[in-house]
Structure 1
Amino acid sequence: MAQAPAKAILSGEHSVVYGAPALALAVNCYAQARVQSIESAELVLQLTDLDRCFRYNWPEVIKRAEDAESRYQRFLLGNCPITEVLVGTDDLYLFAIAALIKDLSLNHCPGILLQLRSDIPVGSGMGSSAATVAAMLIGVAKLIGVELTQQRLYQLTHHAERLQHGRSSGIDPAVCCYGGLIHFSDGVIDPRSLEFGDGWFLLDSGKPAVTTGVGVEQVRKNFAGSDIWDEFSQITGKMATALREMNQGQLIKQIRLNHRLLCRIGVVPDPIQQLVADIEQAGGAAKVSGAGAVAGDQAGLILVYHPQLSESSLSHLALQPLKVDCLGAWVQNADSVDDLSCDGANDDY
């Protein structure tokens, strides 16, 4: 069994796509992959959360991956929306497995049963797709006798993540693979101290009406050449300093400034802006932690910081204490089974 954690961004949403630095950490909510060998020379994929099961021969896996890559290239040329790159619920996973096979130069692929499940809310901005892919890749690699380094696992996960989000910065795969608190800039992963004090909480505002990929593209159209990303960079730098010095006042100030920048680029719906205003009125700070939303009333994950929460008037909110995962993606020994029945195979194209 393999697993990888979710992520929360402290500072640098969207700006990280344009090379600005970001601070993010892994949280204790997980995607899991159970990988087993089977006698038949095929891939059996079970998406447990969706109650779906698929069977493929290996040439079919490779062909599906090539088709997905072709659609992604059309997206880059402006001839295909990001929402049409992955046409099946299984496309992302087939692409990632095919990339692993190619990377390892495998001439013969064994029979594999792959069962995927996740406790990470889909579309919440917590990196559910990256975590699932990372857990799957490290599990499959282990089954065939290969130990992937954190860096190689990150690279393979990021390679697949492009198809999900269009122009992925790589921060989701970085956090899911490495765990802990990281500073991320232009693909450079810099682990940081985990001593960041109390008063951190997460709040799920609900699944956004549009995907992360759609949001990223909308922001790109409006702000790709803007100097607003320099403002994001300055805030991330000051956040890093405030964390190092455990300066509560500066942390509150920088999170509030970050929130206002996210409002300016249009990824904070009006109801979420009101929610953040209420938290600020109570003495805290909050911001979307992820892509947010360019449409609808919900924005996924909200990061809340309030060192004196017990004395505030926020008891009506379903706040969850932020708990950090320090391990990143990891795998135990794989199991083996002799046979498997799979009803409804290949019925979700």
Structure 2
Amino acid sequence: MANKTFIISAPGKVILHGEHAVVHGKVALAVSLNLKTYLRIRPCSDQRVQLNLPNIDVHLSWKSAALQFLLTAIDADVLNPKAASQEQMEQLRRFAGIPEGSTDAMSLSILCFLYLYGAISASSRQLPNVDILVWSELPTGAGLGSSAAYCVCLAAALLAASGTIACPAPLEKGITRWNEDDLELINKWAFQGEKLIHGNPSGVDNAVGTWGGVLRYHAGKITPLSRVPTLRILLTNTKVLRSTKVLVARVKDKLNKLPNIIKPVLDSIDAISCECERILAEIASGNAVDEHYTVLEELIDINQQHLNVIGVGHSSLDRLCQATAAYGLHSKLTGAGGGGCGLTLLRPDTSPSVVEASKRALKDFGYDCWETNIGGSGVSLHSPSSLQKDIFQVLCDVRNCQ
């Protein structure tokens, strides 16, 4: 694959149910989002390695000889991924000219690339000359798994370029998927990238980016659901910044102060996740009826109220819920809360006029809003013909990577 051009995608994620309760041992459901990160990898003929991330204005080019130090600096086994050491990170920072303590998206993305590139190449003792361009539909810092999608795409591309994983067999519509063993390896390397970016991530985001669909997360165990329907949603970014760390601490503080009140709320959120899992299996089995969507809507409403009770709501999210309720739709926050993003369930028969009216109302608040799907496939390899025209144009336009 190192001598060809390939395009890889990985989805973002949303939490359907179980936010915050999962921290206290309850079930959460994470689901893939049909907003994706795309990576184009192609060979470089002039002994260079190029990294272009136009979303965050990164355009870097190194002579391959300058990167040879990675083969000795990073002692790694490509089949047994491990995290970067502090010493390795300091060496990568010095090479890239990144100040100690920098945690901006640009710096972390560069460090993540350098580590994965060096570590995955270490076993073969050869650095591939590649030109990598990454472009994303996912906003950064919105809790939608943008960094994990980046890591998954990088891991898949670099493993393929090194010859560690093979080109998967063609599937329908010009989109192919790797086999289960290859997906396991992609996920393990993506997790190492996520640890570099986030320190101590759960592993849910990169797992969703790898396998897609719906994942059940409980007590540190991640289980893909075998039967998953694709659901329509509106995804809304209130653009209100929040701190996940502060919100998690707020819930813990409430639980400690009022255990007899908050514990039953968390138990109820757990029950919501489990009931949602059951309903999704029914829909995926072809038994979808209006009653199932009514239950999903009720679960969304109840969970949103619970999240307000445990202290992670926000006026921006209240406005979102009220605006969509005016059109008969049901919404909840997704992720940490305190602002951030929310999702709105759309039934299969929700009319386009209702969707457009809801989007206009949300945009009037200054929110960003997308109509999209959840529950789709994970990391995939694309032929150019399988891509939407605008995405293909971005990935092919050399002006975007200079």
Taking structure 2 as the reference length, the TM-score comes to: 0.66
**Residue equivalent to 1:86:** 103
The CA deviation at 1:290 is: 2.4
Task: Determine the structure 1 residue equivalent to 2:226.
Answer: 192
- Mapped partners of 2:52, 2:87: distance in 1: 20
Answering whether residue 240 of structure 2 is matched by residue 208 of structure 1, we say yes
> Offset of 1:93 from its aligned partner?
4.4
Q: CA deviation at 1:276?
A: 0.9
- 2:207 corresponds in structure 1 to 174
Which residue of the partner structure matches residue 276 of structure 2?
239
Is 1:123 aligned to residue 141 of structure 2? yes
Contact 1:25 1:181 in 2 (8 A): yes
The Cα offsets for residues 217-245 of structure 1, whole Å up to 9 and x where unpaired, read as 11332334744543332220121123334
SS in structure 2 at match of 1:323: strand
Structure 2 contact 159–186 (Cα < 8 Å) conserved: no
- Give 3-state SS (helix, strand or coil) of 1:203's partner: strand
Q: Hey, what's the Cα distance between the residues in 2 that align with 1:103 and 1:165?
A: 20
Listed as ranges, the gaps of 5+ residues in structure 2 are 1-6, 75-83, 91-100, 166-180, 256-262, 284-291, 360-368, 385-397
Could you tell me how far apart the structure 2 residues matched to 1:333 and 1:68 are?
Answer: 40
What corresponds to 2:376 in structure 1? 326
Q: How many residues align?
A: 316
Relative to 1, partners in 2 of residues 1:97 and 1:156: Cα closer, same or farther, differing over 3 Å? farther
Give the match for residue 357 of structure 2: 316
Q: Does 1:285 align with 2:317?
A: no
Return the alpha-carbon distance in structure 2 between the equivalents of residues 263 and 169 of structure 1: 24
Alignment partner, residue 299 of structure 1: 340
Q: C-alpha displacement at 1:66, in angstroms?
A: 4.9
Is the Cα contact below 8 Å between 1:282 and 1:312 reproduced in 2? Answer: no
- Find the counterpart in structure 2 of residue 46 from structure 1: 52
User: Does structure 1 residue 270 correspond to structure 2 residue 315?
Assistant: yes
8 Å CA contact 2:228–2:375 kept in 1: the answer is no
Select 1:33's aligned residue among 39, 43, 55: 39
Q: Which residue of 1 aligns with 2:157?
A: 139
Conservation of the 8 A alpha-carbon contact between 1:17 and 1:169: no
Bigger CA drift: 6-15 or 323-332? Answer: 323-332
Q: Do the aligned partners of residues 11 and 151 (structure 1) sit closer, same or farther apart at CA in structure 2, a change above 3 Å counting?
A: same
Aligned-partner SS, 2:358: coil
CA contact (8 A) 2:215 2:222 kept: no
Deviates more, 1:273-282 or 1:118-127: 273-282
Cα deviation, residue 96, structure 1: 5.0
SS of 1:322's partner is: strand
Aligned counterpart in structure 1 of residue 297 of structure 2, from 248, 252, 262? 252
1:343/1:248 Cα in 2 relative to 1: closer, same or farther (>3 Å)?
A: closer
State which structure, 1 or 2, has the greater radius of gyration over its C-alpha atoms: 2
Runs (5+) with no aligned partner, structure 1: 72-83, 335-339, 345-349
Q: How far off is 1:317 after superposition? A: 1.9
- Matching residue of 1:151: 184
Preserved contact between residue 54 and residue 401 of structure 2 (Cα < 8 Å) = no
State the AA in 1 paired with 2:109.
L
Q: How much is the aligned-residue C-alpha RMSD, in angstroms? A: 3.7
Q: 1:325 to 1:245 in 2, by over 3 A?
A: closer
Bigger helix fraction? 2
Answer whether contact 1:182 1:192 (CA < 8 A) is retained: no
Q: 1:94 to 1:187 in 2, by over 3 A?
A: farther
Name which of 4, 8, 29 aligns with 2:10: 4
SS in 2 for 1:317: helix
